[in-house]
Structure 1
Amino acid sequence: MRDWAGMRYWLVGADTPLGAALAEKLSRAGVSLVLSGCDQDKLEDLIVSLPGRASYIPIDVRDEGRLAEIAIELGAVNGLVYAIDDHQAVSAEAWNATGAARMISSNLTGIANALGVALPIFEGRGHIVLLDSLAGIGGSPRQAGYAASKAGVRLMAESLRAEARGSALAVQLVTLGVPGSRLAVAPAAAAAEIFEHMGTPRFRRTVPAMAGAVVRLLHVLPGWLTRPAIAWLTKPAQD
Protein backbone atom coordinates (compact mmCIF):
# COMPACT_ATOMS: atom_id res chain seq x y z
CA MET A 1 0.00 0.00 0.00
CA ARG A 2 1.10 3.55 -0.72
CA ASP A 3 1.97 5.73 2.28
CA TRP A 4 -0.14 8.88 1.97
CA ALA A 5 1.39 10.68 4.97
CA GLY A 6 2.91 14.01 3.96
CA MET A 7 1.87 13.64 0.31
CA ARG A 8 0.71 16.63 -1.75
CA TYR A 9 -1.23 16.01 -4.97
CA TRP A 10 -2.46 18.19 -7.82
CA LEU A 11 -5.99 17.13 -8.76
CA VAL A 12 -7.06 18.49 -12.14
CA GLY A 13 -10.80 18.36 -12.75
CA ALA A 14 -11.75 18.79 -9.10
CA ASP A 15 -14.80 20.81 -10.16
CA THR A 16 -16.40 17.70 -11.70
CA PRO A 17 -18.48 15.16 -9.70
CA LEU A 18 -15.78 12.50 -10.12
CA GLY A 19 -12.99 14.91 -9.20
CA ALA A 20 -14.84 16.11 -6.10
CA ALA A 21 -15.50 12.54 -4.96
CA LEU A 22 -11.85 11.64 -5.48
CA ALA A 23 -10.73 14.77 -3.60
CA GLU A 24 -12.78 13.64 -0.62
CA LYS A 25 -11.13 10.20 -0.66
CA LEU A 26 -7.62 11.60 -0.90
CA SER A 27 -8.25 14.27 1.72
CA ARG A 28 -9.56 11.73 4.24
CA ALA A 29 -6.41 9.68 3.67
CA GLY A 30 -4.32 12.68 4.73
CA VAL A 31 -3.22 13.94 1.32
CA SER A 32 -2.78 17.71 0.99
CA LEU A 33 -4.47 18.81 -2.23
CA VAL A 34 -4.12 21.49 -4.86
CA LEU A 35 -7.45 21.55 -6.71
CA SER A 36 -7.80 22.81 -10.27
CA GLY A 37 -10.71 23.30 -12.64
CA CYS A 38 -12.58 25.98 -14.55
CA ASP A 39 -15.33 26.60 -11.98
CA GLN A 40 -13.85 28.64 -9.13
CA ASP A 41 -17.10 28.60 -7.12
CA LYS A 42 -17.15 24.79 -7.10
CA LEU A 43 -13.50 24.67 -6.08
CA GLU A 44 -14.15 27.04 -3.18
CA ASP A 45 -17.16 25.03 -2.03
CA LEU A 46 -15.17 21.80 -2.24
CA ILE A 47 -12.31 23.13 -0.14
CA VAL A 48 -14.74 24.03 2.65
CA SER A 49 -16.13 20.48 2.67
CA LEU A 50 -12.80 18.62 2.74
CA PRO A 51 -11.42 17.33 6.07
CA GLY A 52 -7.77 17.96 5.18
CA ARG A 53 -5.55 20.73 3.86
CA ALA A 54 -6.37 22.02 0.40
CA SER A 55 -5.86 25.02 -1.86
CA TYR A 56 -7.04 25.74 -5.37
CA ILE A 57 -5.80 27.15 -8.66
CA PRO A 58 -8.56 27.88 -11.20
CA ILE A 59 -7.39 26.90 -14.68
CA ASP A 60 -8.66 25.83 -18.06
CA VAL A 61 -6.37 22.95 -19.07
CA ARG A 62 -6.81 23.93 -22.72
CA ASP A 63 -5.06 27.25 -21.98
CA GLU A 64 -1.43 26.27 -22.47
CA GLY A 65 -0.22 29.78 -21.76
CA ARG A 66 -1.95 29.93 -18.38
CA LEU A 67 -0.60 26.51 -17.38
CA ALA A 68 2.92 27.61 -18.20
CA GLU A 69 2.57 30.33 -15.56
CA ILE A 70 1.45 28.26 -12.57
CA ALA A 71 4.53 26.18 -11.66
CA ILE A 72 5.57 28.60 -8.90
CA GLU A 73 1.98 28.94 -7.70
CA LEU A 74 1.61 25.16 -7.62
CA GLY A 75 4.77 24.49 -5.65
CA ALA A 76 6.12 21.05 -4.78
CA VAL A 77 3.72 18.18 -5.47
CA ASN A 78 4.16 14.41 -5.28
CA GLY A 79 1.45 13.45 -7.73
CA LEU A 80 -0.87 14.48 -10.54
CA VAL A 81 -4.38 13.06 -10.90
CA TYR A 82 -6.18 14.05 -14.09
CA ALA A 83 -9.91 13.59 -13.44
CA ILE A 84 -11.38 15.50 -16.40
CA ASP A 85 -13.73 13.31 -18.42
CA ASP A 86 -15.42 15.51 -21.02
CA HIS A 87 -18.08 13.52 -22.86
CA GLN A 88 -20.55 14.25 -25.63
CA ALA A 89 -22.10 11.72 -27.99
CA VAL A 90 -21.28 12.77 -31.57
CA SER A 91 -22.72 10.85 -34.52
CA ALA A 92 -21.61 10.81 -38.14
CA GLU A 93 -25.12 11.86 -39.20
CA ALA A 94 -25.01 15.00 -37.07
CA TRP A 95 -21.31 15.67 -36.72
CA ASN A 96 -20.36 18.29 -34.17
CA ALA A 97 -16.83 19.39 -34.97
CA THR A 98 -16.70 21.81 -32.05
CA GLY A 99 -17.79 19.17 -29.55
CA ALA A 100 -15.38 16.56 -30.88
CA ALA A 101 -12.46 19.00 -30.84
CA ARG A 102 -13.35 20.11 -27.31
CA MET A 103 -13.32 16.54 -26.00
CA ILE A 104 -9.94 15.84 -27.56
CA SER A 105 -8.59 19.09 -26.16
CA SER A 106 -9.97 18.58 -22.65
CA ASN A 107 -9.41 14.84 -22.31
CA LEU A 108 -6.06 14.46 -24.06
CA THR A 109 -4.30 17.72 -24.93
CA GLY A 110 -5.04 18.98 -21.42
CA ILE A 111 -3.00 16.09 -20.01
CA ALA A 112 -0.04 17.06 -22.16
CA ASN A 113 -0.35 20.62 -20.86
CA ALA A 114 -0.62 19.48 -17.22
CA LEU A 115 2.36 17.15 -17.60
CA GLY A 116 4.33 20.10 -18.93
CA VAL A 117 3.92 21.62 -15.48
CA ALA A 118 4.14 18.51 -13.30
CA LEU A 119 7.02 16.52 -14.81
CA PRO A 120 9.69 19.23 -14.25
CA ILE A 121 8.48 19.48 -10.63
CA PHE A 122 8.69 15.70 -10.19
CA GLU A 123 12.30 15.58 -11.44
CA GLY A 124 12.04 11.86 -12.15
CA ARG A 125 9.99 11.05 -9.05
CA GLY A 126 6.23 11.29 -8.65
CA HIS A 127 2.88 9.67 -9.31
CA ILE A 128 0.72 10.18 -12.43
CA VAL A 129 -2.86 8.89 -12.53
CA LEU A 130 -4.81 9.07 -15.80
CA LEU A 131 -8.32 7.93 -16.80
CA ASP A 132 -9.34 6.41 -20.11
CA SER A 133 -12.59 4.70 -21.15
CA LEU A 134 -13.96 1.46 -22.53
CA ALA A 135 -15.20 3.60 -25.43
CA GLY A 136 -11.58 3.89 -26.57
CA ILE A 137 -11.18 0.13 -27.00
CA GLY A 138 -12.08 -0.70 -30.57
CA GLY A 139 -14.49 2.19 -30.99
CA SER A 140 -18.20 2.57 -30.22
CA PRO A 141 -21.14 4.10 -32.11
CA ARG A 142 -21.64 7.86 -31.59
CA GLN A 143 -18.40 8.06 -29.59
CA ALA A 144 -15.87 9.04 -32.27
CA GLY A 145 -14.53 12.19 -30.59
CA TYR A 146 -14.70 10.78 -27.07
CA ALA A 147 -13.24 7.39 -28.06
CA ALA A 148 -10.37 9.01 -29.94
CA SER A 149 -9.47 11.18 -26.97
CA LYS A 150 -9.56 8.25 -24.54
CA ALA A 151 -7.60 5.94 -26.80
CA GLY A 152 -4.97 8.67 -26.86
CA VAL A 153 -4.96 8.80 -23.05
CA ARG A 154 -4.39 5.04 -22.89
CA LEU A 155 -1.45 5.18 -25.31
CA MET A 156 0.01 8.16 -23.47
CA ALA A 157 -0.17 6.31 -20.15
CA GLU A 158 1.31 3.13 -21.62
CA SER A 159 4.16 5.07 -23.20
CA LEU A 160 4.90 6.98 -20.00
CA ARG A 161 4.90 3.75 -18.03
CA ALA A 162 7.26 2.09 -20.50
CA GLU A 163 9.67 4.99 -20.15
CA ALA A 164 9.33 5.14 -16.35
CA ARG A 165 9.91 1.43 -15.77
CA GLY A 166 12.66 0.96 -13.20
CA SER A 167 12.56 4.62 -12.14
CA ALA A 168 10.92 6.45 -9.23
CA LEU A 169 8.12 7.75 -11.45
CA ALA A 170 4.88 5.78 -11.01
CA VAL A 171 2.25 5.84 -13.76
CA GLN A 172 -1.25 4.39 -13.37
CA LEU A 173 -4.27 4.09 -15.65
CA VAL A 174 -7.91 3.50 -14.72
CA THR A 175 -10.33 2.54 -17.49
CA LEU A 176 -13.88 3.69 -16.78
CA GLY A 177 -17.15 2.98 -18.59
CA VAL A 178 -18.92 5.29 -21.02
CA PRO A 179 -20.70 8.26 -19.37
CA GLY A 180 -24.47 8.16 -19.67
CA SER A 181 -24.50 4.59 -20.98
CA ARG A 182 -25.17 1.15 -19.51
CA LEU A 183 -21.44 1.00 -18.78
CA ALA A 184 -21.42 4.21 -16.72
CA VAL A 185 -20.13 4.18 -13.15
CA ALA A 186 -21.42 6.58 -10.47
CA PRO A 187 -18.78 9.18 -9.46
CA ALA A 188 -18.60 8.02 -5.83
CA ALA A 189 -18.17 4.37 -6.83
CA ALA A 190 -15.58 5.25 -9.48
CA ALA A 191 -13.66 7.44 -7.03
CA ALA A 192 -13.52 4.62 -4.47
CA GLU A 193 -12.07 2.23 -7.07
CA ILE A 194 -9.60 4.81 -8.37
CA PHE A 195 -8.37 5.61 -4.87
CA GLU A 196 -7.99 1.92 -4.05
CA HIS A 197 -5.99 1.41 -7.25
CA MET A 198 -3.77 4.39 -6.45
CA GLY A 199 -2.65 2.61 -3.28
CA THR A 200 -1.35 -0.39 -5.23
CA PRO A 201 1.75 -0.82 -7.42
CA ARG A 202 -0.33 -2.07 -10.37
CA PHE A 203 -0.52 -0.11 -13.61
CA ARG A 204 -4.01 -0.80 -14.93
CA ARG A 205 -7.51 -1.22 -13.52
CA THR A 206 -10.91 -1.33 -15.22
CA VAL A 207 -14.09 -0.09 -13.53
CA PRO A 208 -16.39 -1.99 -13.69
CA ALA A 209 -14.06 -4.97 -14.12
CA MET A 210 -16.60 -7.45 -15.51
CA ALA A 211 -17.92 -4.95 -18.06
CA GLY A 212 -14.37 -4.31 -19.19
CA ALA A 213 -13.80 -8.02 -19.78
CA VAL A 214 -17.02 -8.26 -21.79
CA VAL A 215 -16.24 -5.22 -23.96
CA ARG A 216 -12.71 -6.43 -24.71
CA LEU A 217 -14.03 -9.86 -25.67
CA LEU A 218 -16.69 -8.35 -27.94
CA HIS A 219 -14.08 -6.35 -29.82
CA VAL A 220 -12.00 -9.48 -30.44
CA LEU A 221 -14.92 -11.39 -31.96
CA PRO A 222 -16.18 -10.73 -35.54
CA GLY A 223 -17.85 -7.34 -35.88
CA TRP A 224 -20.98 -8.64 -37.60
CA LEU A 225 -21.64 -10.77 -34.53
CA THR A 226 -20.84 -8.28 -31.78
CA ARG A 227 -21.74 -4.87 -33.26
CA PRO A 228 -25.36 -4.88 -31.93
CA ALA A 229 -24.19 -5.78 -28.42
CA ILE A 230 -21.57 -3.00 -28.36
CA ALA A 231 -24.14 -0.50 -29.62
CA TRP A 232 -26.58 -1.57 -26.90
CA LEU A 233 -23.99 -1.33 -24.13
CA THR A 234 -22.74 2.12 -25.13
CA LYS A 235 -26.01 3.82 -26.07
CA PRO A 236 -27.57 6.26 -23.55
CA ALA A 237 -29.02 4.28 -20.65
CA GLN A 238 -32.42 6.03 -20.95
CA ASP A 239 -32.89 4.97 -24.57
Structure 2
Amino acid sequence: MKNYTGKTVWIIGASSGIGHALAQELHNRGATLILSARDDAALSRLNGILDGRHKVIAFDVTDQDKFSEAFKAVGTIDSVIYLAATYTPGKIADIKAADVEKTMSINLEGALTLLRHVIPHYRAQGFGQIALCGSVAGYRGLPGGQPYSATKAAIISIAESLRAEVADDNIDVRLISPGFVRTPMTDKNDFAMPMIIDPPAAARAIADGLVGRRFEIHFPKKFTFLMKLLRILPYPFYFRLMRGIKR
Protein backbone atom coordinates (compact mmCIF):
# COMPACT_ATOMS: atom_id res chain seq x y z
CA MET A 1 0.00 0.00 0.00
CA LYS A 2 1.72 3.18 -1.21
CA ASN A 3 -0.93 5.71 -0.21
CA TYR A 4 -4.43 5.87 1.28
CA THR A 5 -6.39 7.25 -1.64
CA GLY A 6 -9.19 4.83 -2.48
CA LYS A 7 -8.12 2.44 0.28
CA THR A 8 -10.38 1.04 3.01
CA VAL A 9 -8.82 0.82 6.47
CA TRP A 10 -10.44 -0.85 9.48
CA ILE A 11 -9.34 0.67 12.79
CA ILE A 12 -10.20 -1.46 15.83
CA GLY A 13 -9.87 0.74 18.91
CA ALA A 14 -10.87 4.01 17.24
CA SER A 15 -12.94 5.58 20.02
CA SER A 16 -10.09 7.26 21.93
CA GLY A 17 -6.36 7.78 22.20
CA ILE A 18 -4.12 6.80 19.31
CA GLY A 19 -6.95 5.15 17.36
CA HIS A 20 -9.08 8.31 17.50
CA ALA A 21 -6.20 10.45 16.26
CA LEU A 22 -5.26 7.91 13.59
CA ALA A 23 -8.80 7.96 12.21
CA GLN A 24 -8.55 11.71 11.73
CA GLU A 25 -5.10 11.42 10.15
CA LEU A 26 -6.13 8.71 7.66
CA HIS A 27 -9.34 10.57 6.85
CA ASN A 28 -7.24 13.60 5.94
CA ARG A 29 -5.08 11.38 3.73
CA GLY A 30 -8.06 10.13 1.73
CA ALA A 31 -8.79 6.74 3.28
CA THR A 32 -12.24 5.25 3.65
CA LEU A 33 -12.53 4.06 7.24
CA ILE A 34 -14.34 1.42 9.24
CA LEU A 35 -14.38 2.60 12.84
CA SER A 36 -14.68 0.01 15.59
CA ALA A 37 -14.59 -0.08 19.39
CA ARG A 38 -17.11 -0.87 22.11
CA ASP A 39 -18.41 2.69 22.47
CA ASP A 40 -20.90 3.24 19.65
CA ALA A 41 -21.67 6.80 20.74
CA ALA A 42 -17.98 7.80 20.75
CA LEU A 43 -17.51 6.27 17.30
CA SER A 44 -20.56 8.09 15.95
CA ARG A 45 -19.23 11.40 17.32
CA LEU A 46 -15.89 10.71 15.67
CA ASN A 47 -17.56 9.88 12.37
CA GLY A 48 -19.49 13.14 12.64
CA ILE A 49 -16.20 15.02 12.95
CA LEU A 50 -15.05 13.20 9.81
CA ASP A 51 -18.02 14.38 7.71
CA GLY A 52 -20.01 11.22 8.48
CA ARG A 53 -18.67 9.42 5.44
CA HIS A 54 -17.21 6.37 7.18
CA LYS A 55 -18.73 3.15 8.50
CA VAL A 56 -19.19 2.58 12.24
CA ILE A 57 -19.21 -1.00 13.57
CA ALA A 58 -19.29 -1.09 17.36
CA PHE A 59 -18.51 -4.37 19.11
CA ASP A 60 -16.60 -5.92 22.00
CA VAL A 61 -13.41 -7.68 20.85
CA THR A 62 -13.71 -10.15 23.75
CA ASP A 63 -17.06 -11.44 22.44
CA GLN A 64 -16.29 -14.10 19.81
CA ASP A 65 -19.78 -14.05 18.29
CA LYS A 66 -19.91 -10.24 18.08
CA PHE A 67 -16.45 -10.24 16.53
CA SER A 68 -17.63 -12.65 13.84
CA GLU A 69 -20.71 -10.54 13.16
CA ALA A 70 -18.59 -7.41 12.90
CA PHE A 71 -16.18 -9.05 10.50
CA LYS A 72 -19.02 -10.14 8.21
CA ALA A 73 -20.19 -6.53 8.07
CA VAL A 74 -16.76 -5.19 7.14
CA GLY A 75 -16.48 -6.42 3.54
CA THR A 76 -13.38 -5.82 1.45
CA ILE A 77 -10.58 -4.00 3.26
CA ASP A 78 -7.04 -3.05 2.34
CA SER A 79 -5.70 -2.75 5.89
CA VAL A 80 -6.75 -3.55 9.44
CA ILE A 81 -5.12 -1.92 12.45
CA TYR A 82 -5.63 -3.54 15.85
CA LEU A 83 -5.24 -0.87 18.54
CA ALA A 84 -7.71 -2.16 21.15
CA ALA A 85 -5.94 -2.42 24.51
CA THR A 86 -6.32 -2.02 28.24
CA TYR A 87 -3.82 -1.48 31.04
CA THR A 88 -3.88 -1.82 34.81
CA PRO A 89 -0.68 -0.62 36.51
CA GLY A 90 0.56 -2.08 39.78
CA LYS A 91 2.72 -4.76 41.30
CA ILE A 92 1.86 -8.27 40.18
CA ALA A 93 0.73 -9.46 43.62
CA ASP A 94 -1.74 -6.56 43.88
CA ILE A 95 -3.43 -6.86 40.49
CA LYS A 96 -6.90 -8.39 40.56
CA ALA A 97 -7.53 -11.60 38.62
CA ALA A 98 -10.36 -9.90 36.73
CA ASP A 99 -7.98 -7.18 35.52
CA VAL A 100 -5.47 -9.78 34.33
CA GLU A 101 -8.20 -11.65 32.46
CA LYS A 102 -9.43 -8.41 30.87
CA THR A 103 -5.92 -7.49 29.77
CA MET A 104 -5.33 -10.88 28.22
CA SER A 105 -8.74 -10.92 26.51
CA ILE A 106 -8.50 -7.49 24.91
CA ASN A 107 -4.79 -7.10 24.21
CA LEU A 108 -3.99 -10.63 23.10
CA GLU A 109 -7.00 -12.86 22.50
CA GLY A 110 -8.81 -10.12 20.57
CA ALA A 111 -5.83 -9.79 18.24
CA LEU A 112 -5.73 -13.56 17.70
CA THR A 113 -9.47 -13.60 16.96
CA LEU A 114 -8.90 -10.93 14.33
CA LEU A 115 -6.13 -12.98 12.72
CA ARG A 116 -8.31 -16.09 12.53
CA HIS A 117 -10.83 -14.08 10.54
CA VAL A 118 -8.70 -11.80 8.42
CA ILE A 119 -5.97 -14.15 7.18
CA PRO A 120 -8.33 -16.45 5.23
CA HIS A 121 -10.14 -13.33 3.98
CA TYR A 122 -6.91 -11.79 2.69
CA ARG A 123 -5.78 -15.04 1.13
CA ALA A 124 -9.10 -15.25 -0.73
CA GLN A 125 -8.94 -11.66 -1.99
CA GLY A 126 -5.23 -11.92 -2.78
CA PHE A 127 -3.89 -9.01 -0.75
CA GLY A 128 -4.13 -7.11 2.52
CA GLN A 129 -2.28 -5.46 5.38
CA ILE A 130 -2.39 -6.33 9.09
CA ALA A 131 -0.99 -3.94 11.70
CA LEU A 132 -0.73 -5.16 15.30
CA CYS A 133 0.04 -2.78 18.14
CA GLY A 134 2.76 -3.93 20.49
CA SER A 135 4.65 -1.51 22.73
CA VAL A 136 8.17 -0.81 23.86
CA ALA A 137 6.81 -2.20 27.15
CA GLY A 138 6.94 -5.57 25.41
CA TYR A 139 10.65 -5.34 24.60
CA ARG A 140 11.62 -6.56 28.08
CA GLY A 141 9.84 -7.23 31.36
CA LEU A 142 9.22 -3.97 33.21
CA PRO A 143 8.28 -3.64 36.90
CA GLY A 144 4.74 -2.47 37.61
CA GLY A 145 3.06 -3.55 34.41
CA GLN A 146 3.65 -7.27 33.98
CA PRO A 147 0.28 -8.35 32.48
CA TYR A 148 0.32 -5.49 29.98
CA SER A 149 4.00 -6.01 29.13
CA ALA A 150 3.42 -9.76 28.74
CA THR A 151 0.58 -9.27 26.25
CA LYS A 152 2.61 -6.76 24.26
CA ALA A 153 5.62 -9.10 24.21
CA ALA A 154 3.27 -11.77 22.85
CA ILE A 155 1.98 -9.38 20.16
CA ILE A 156 5.56 -8.67 19.08
CA SER A 157 6.25 -12.41 18.80
CA ILE A 158 3.00 -13.02 16.90
CA ALA A 159 3.72 -10.22 14.44
CA GLU A 160 7.26 -11.48 13.83
CA SER A 161 6.19 -15.08 13.27
CA LEU A 162 3.15 -14.08 11.19
CA ARG A 163 5.28 -11.94 8.91
CA ALA A 164 7.24 -15.06 7.96
CA GLU A 165 4.17 -17.32 7.87
CA VAL A 166 2.23 -15.27 5.30
CA ALA A 167 5.19 -13.93 3.31
CA ASP A 168 4.09 -15.79 0.18
CA ASP A 169 0.41 -14.75 0.43
CA ASN A 170 0.77 -11.05 -0.44
CA ILE A 171 -0.19 -10.17 3.14
CA ASP A 172 1.75 -7.25 4.58
CA VAL A 173 2.24 -7.62 8.36
CA ARG A 174 3.36 -4.63 10.40
CA LEU A 175 4.24 -4.11 14.06
CA ILE A 176 3.49 -0.82 15.80
CA SER A 177 5.64 -0.15 18.89
CA PRO A 178 4.75 3.13 20.62
CA GLY A 179 6.69 4.69 23.43
CA PHE A 180 4.75 6.88 25.83
CA VAL A 181 1.73 8.54 24.23
CA ARG A 182 -0.59 10.83 26.20
CA THR A 183 -3.83 8.79 26.32
CA PRO A 184 -6.37 7.64 28.94
CA MET A 185 -4.15 4.57 29.50
CA THR A 186 -0.96 6.47 30.25
CA ASP A 187 -2.97 8.87 32.45
CA LYS A 188 -3.05 5.97 34.93
CA ASN A 189 0.72 6.13 35.44
CA ASP A 190 2.09 7.83 38.55
CA PHE A 191 5.67 8.14 37.29
CA ALA A 192 7.51 10.42 34.89
CA MET A 193 7.12 9.27 31.27
CA PRO A 194 10.18 10.35 29.27
CA MET A 195 9.70 11.83 25.81
CA ILE A 196 5.91 11.44 25.94
CA ILE A 197 4.12 12.58 22.78
CA ASP A 198 0.53 13.49 21.93
CA PRO A 199 -1.79 11.20 19.91
CA PRO A 200 -1.65 13.26 16.68
CA ALA A 201 2.14 12.80 16.55
CA ALA A 202 1.70 9.06 17.08
CA ALA A 203 -0.96 8.98 14.36
CA ARG A 204 1.35 10.68 11.86
CA ALA A 205 4.12 8.20 12.63
CA ILE A 206 1.77 5.25 12.11
CA ALA A 207 0.24 6.66 8.95
CA ASP A 208 3.68 7.29 7.46
CA GLY A 209 4.94 3.89 8.54
CA LEU A 210 2.09 1.85 7.09
CA VAL A 211 2.85 3.15 3.61
CA GLY A 212 6.59 2.75 4.17
CA ARG A 213 8.67 -0.39 3.88
CA ARG A 214 9.80 -1.14 7.43
CA PHE A 215 8.23 -3.98 9.41
CA GLU A 216 8.29 -2.14 12.74
CA ILE A 217 6.85 1.33 13.21
CA HIS A 218 8.31 2.65 16.46
CA PHE A 219 8.16 6.15 17.92
CA PRO A 220 9.32 8.55 19.22
CA LYS A 221 12.63 7.42 17.78
CA LYS A 222 14.93 8.93 20.43
CA PHE A 223 13.10 6.99 23.13
CA THR A 224 12.48 3.75 21.25
CA PHE A 225 16.12 3.41 20.22
CA LEU A 226 17.09 3.71 23.90
CA MET A 227 14.58 0.96 24.70
CA LYS A 228 16.06 -1.20 21.96
CA LEU A 229 19.43 -0.86 23.65
CA LEU A 230 17.79 -1.96 26.91
CA ARG A 231 16.46 -5.00 25.05
CA ILE A 232 19.95 -6.28 24.29
CA LEU A 233 21.53 -5.65 27.69
CA PRO A 234 22.91 -8.84 29.30
CA TYR A 235 20.72 -10.03 32.19
CA PRO A 236 23.07 -9.00 35.05
CA PHE A 237 23.15 -5.38 33.84
CA TYR A 238 19.45 -5.36 33.02
CA PHE A 239 18.36 -6.66 36.45
CA ARG A 240 20.68 -4.21 38.22
CA LEU A 241 19.10 -1.36 36.26
CA MET A 242 15.56 -2.60 36.99
CA ARG A 243 16.25 -2.75 40.73
CA GLY A 244 17.17 0.91 40.53
CA ILE A 245 13.94 2.02 38.88
CA LYS A 246 11.33 -0.36 40.30
CA ARG A 247 8.33 1.29 41.93
Provide TM-score, normalisation by structure 2.
Answer: 0.86
Q: Tell me, in whole angstroms, the C-alpha distance in 1 between the residues paired with 2:72 and 2:197.
A: 36
1:185 Cα offset (Å): 3.5
Q: Which residue of 1 aligns with 2:218?
A: 206
Q: Count residues in correspondence.
A: 235
1:224 Cα offset (Å): 5.2
Instruction: Spell out the pairing of 1:95-114 with structure 2 (5 A cutoff).
Output: 95-114=95-114
Q: Which residue of 2 aligns with 1:143?
A: 145
For the residue of structure 1 that corresponds to 2:94, the secondary structure is coil
**Compared CA separation, residues 230 and 175, structure 1 to 2 (3 A):** farther
Q: Which residue of 1 aligns with 2:174?
A: 172
Counterpart AA for 2:138: G
Q: Deviations over 1:62-100 (max 9, x none)?
A: 101111223332111111011123122131341322112
Quote the sequence identity (%). 29
For the residue of structure 1 that corresponds to 2:218, the secondary structure is strand
Instruction: Spell out the pairing of 1:64-143 with structure 2 (5 A cutoff).
Output: 64-122=64-122, 123=124, 124-143=126-145
For the residue of structure 2 that corresponds to 1:215, the secondary structure is helix
Choose 113-122 or 80-89, whichever is displaced more: 113-122
Q: Tell me, in whole angstroms, the C-alpha distance in 2 between the residues paired with 1:34 and 1:7.
A: 11
1:229 Cα offset (Å): 5.0
In the alignment, structure 2 segments of 5+ residues that lack a partner are: 181-185
Q: Tell me, in whole angstroms, the C-alpha distance in 2 between the residues paired with 1:150 and 1:83.
A: 11
Q: Deviations over 1:136-167 (max 9, x none)?
A: 11200011100111011111111111112243
For the residue of structure 2 that corresponds to 1:113, the secondary structure is helix
Q: Deviations over 1:85-123 (max 9, x none)?
A: 312213134132211221121111111112233223322
1:125 touches 1:168 (CA, 8 Å); kept in 2?
Answer: yes
Provide TM-score, normalisation by structure 1.
Answer: 0.89
Q: Are residue 63 (structure 1) and residue 75 (structure 2) matched? A: no
**Compared CA separation, residues 232 and 214, structure 1 to 2 (3 A):** farther
**Compared CA separation, residues 228 and 44, structure 1 to 2 (3 A):** farther
Q: Which residue of 1 aligns with 2:20?
A: 20
1:67 touches 1:117 (CA, 8 Å); kept in 2?
Answer: no
Give the superposed CA RMSD. Answer: 2.2
Give the counterpart of 1:154 among 148, 153, 156. 156
For the residue of structure 1 that corresponds to 2:143, the secondary structure is coil
Q: Tell me, in whole angstroms, the C-alpha distance in 2 between the residues paired with 1:6 and 1:206.
A: 26
Q: Tell me, in whole angstroms, the C-alpha distance in 2 between the residues paired with 1:88 and 1:95.
A: 8
Q: Tell me, in whole angstroms, the C-alpha distance in 2 between the residues paired with 1:39 and 1:57.
A: 10
Q: Which residue of 1 aligns with 2:183?
A: none
Counterpart AA for 1:198: L
Choose 143-152 or 43-52, whichever is displaced more: 43-52
For the residue of structure 1 that corresponds to 2:73, the secondary structure is helix
1:28 Cα offset (Å): 1.0
1:52 Cα offset (Å): 7.3
Q: Which residue of 2 aligns with 1:32?
A: 32
